[in-house]
Amino acid sequence: MGPKEVELILVKEHNGVQFTTSTLVSPAGHPHGHGLALGPSHGHTPVPGEERETWGKKIDFLLSVIGFAVDLANVWRFPYLCYKNGGGAFLVPYLFFMVIAGMPLFYMELALGQYNREGAAGVWKICPIFKGVGFTVILISLYVGFYYNVIIAWALFYLFSSFTGELPWVHCNNTWNSPNCSDLWAFNNSLNDTHKSTPAAEYFERGVLHLQDSEGIADLGLPRWQLTSCLAVVIVVLYFSLWKGVKTSGKVVWITATMPYVVLTVLLLRGVTLPGAMDGIKAYLSVDFLRLCEPQVWIDAATQICFSLGVGFGVLIAFSSYNKFSNNCYRDAIITSSINSLTSFFSGFVIFSFLGYMSHKHSVPLDKCSGQGDHRRSVFLVFWTRVATDGQYVLVFLDKVATDGQYSYRSRWLFCHNIIETVDLAGPGLYWRLCWKFVSPCFLLFMVVVSFATFNPPNYGTYTFPIWANMIGWCLAISSMTMVPLYAIYKMCTLPGKFCDRLAYAITPEHEHHLVDNGEVRRFTVSCSSLLT
């Protein structure tokens, strides 16, 4: 018998993940590969010349993830939900969903990005037919970015407005105030008092947005130059923060990710010294375990996990794709998701120390103060049209339709076990594999069902959006969802061969397409024992 080529396979386990290298040795003894380099069993390291940029320091990556995940959902929404749903008892469903869904999804996104070295769309080379999921998340992020940048512009406008001897939102003596404006907090439940509004609310709605000059979303006004200028500053800062990739953004997060903690700490030190602060903190930590019998408490906890961790936006995949290949992403997932939850808990002390002070100062119940704050929260949810006279209507509307489409994406992320099978992370323990294959998909399905069951047409206060606006909203929401089936159809139509051959190529990782050529499609073989291995 003559000499034959021999395939040498080296298997190595690192960081809980199996790595393989596959090389063909020719009869002359000169090895040549299949295009596979040292990499995890579900992907491969880019070949020389295609090396992906990496973070300058490990701390740059951690701060970027923390800075992305920690936002208004942590600083305000969690403390409010905690107070609303039984105080400390709310931590039970919150931590439960964090363990069975939040951390597993967080870990999975970091692993997918790091070991495939691709962004939200490119990572789907592990299962090409689902690449539409990547385009879906990019589109959703685009929608969310429209109005989230404007939130920053509003904050910048408030910063500039505070450079005065007297803050414009503390009294009713301004030109924009209405006769309903009242400096008194002790509103009773009479008919006349139901139409009262605070100086802060009127400053935002009438002084900043000029909603009194608009009749609704159909009455688009011209952009206000003050807000437009603030938005332009935000866009310029964002551009120069990102123009050189992670080399510049990794340095910017040293400020953007740490400053909130500095501000929260300063506010806490000030808040606890105010009269009534301890009453507010006691209300925040009060425990009412009977509230756990109410389904809405568990729904709020599950929703908060999705909002606070930021899974499903593709950002975690993009961030981790710039990690070094041997980085311990498991440890990163545990650290960053834990910091995220601790930040939520810590923020509650800051918020309720001041709510307790407001309750004490104005002699009103604490729930009256928190309810008032929840209405500011509701308005903190746009491109140049959102800085126009009726921009708030467009902003609330876009927030509703953009986030509704997101749950559909998240359900597709894990709902097909074929996707999990292509990842083939054999190293992680049984707990993570059970969560990825069964628990987390059920959780996401639960979120989809809840989002549809509790859906209400978007509104802003007493204003109800017209039917035509709701139709546009559904079109925007569907536009993100349809990317998945549309790309799947496109992929099946453009691949060569018969239907079975096309399907084989579509569900097989790109680096294993040579196996399809040889008729080796192990994804066509499903056994009960393979579900947990």
Classify residue 348 as exposed, middle or buried by CB count within 10 Å of its CB (0-12, 13-18, 19+).
buried
Residue 32's H or E segment, with its range, is strand 31-33
Beta-carbon neighbour count of residue 127 at 10 Å?
Answer: 23
Alpha-carbon distance of 176 to 174, in angstroms, equals 5
Residue 340 annotated as lining a ligand binding site:
yes
Alpha-carbon distance of 530 to 13, in angstroms, equals 20
Name residue 8's beta-bridge partners.
Answer: 23
Residue 308 annotated as lining a ligand binding site:
yes
Say if CB 113 and CB 317 are below 8 A apart.
yes
Q: Which of 392, 421, 448 is nearest to 220 (CA)?
A: 392
Classify residue 478 as exposed, middle or buried by CB count within 10 Å of its CB (0-12, 13-18, 19+).
middle
Query: Phi and psi of 85, rounded to 5°?
Result: -115, 45
Residue 47 annotated as lining a ligand binding site:
no
- Tokens standing for residue 86: 């039984």
* Residue recorded with tokens 């009060």: 286
Residue 69 annotated as lining a ligand binding site:
yes
* Residue recorded with tokens 């300058």: 56
Residue 67 annotated as lining a ligand binding site:
yes
Say if CB 509 and CB 42 are below 8 A apart.
yes
- Tokens standing for residue 351: 């918020």
* Residue recorded with tokens 């040795």: 25
The three state secondary structure string of 342-384 is HHHHHHHHHHHHHHHHHHHHHCCCHHHHHHHHHHHHHHCCCCH
Classify residue 496 as exposed, middle or buried by CB count within 10 Å of its CB (0-12, 13-18, 19+).
exposed
Say if CB 390 and CB 214 are below 8 A apart.
yes
Complete DSSP assignment for 437-506? IIIHHHHHHHHHHHHHHT----EETTEE--HHHHHHHHHHHHHHHTHHHHHHHHHHHHS-SSHHHHHHHH
- Beta-carbon contacts of 451 under 8 Å, excluding residues fewer than 6 positions away, are 404, 407
Alpha-carbon distance of 272 to 349, in angstroms, equals 9
Residue 449 annotated as lining a ligand binding site:
no
**DSSP assigned state of 170:** S
Binding residues: 67, 69-70, 74, 308, 340
Binding residues for Na(+): 67, 69-70, 74, 308, 340
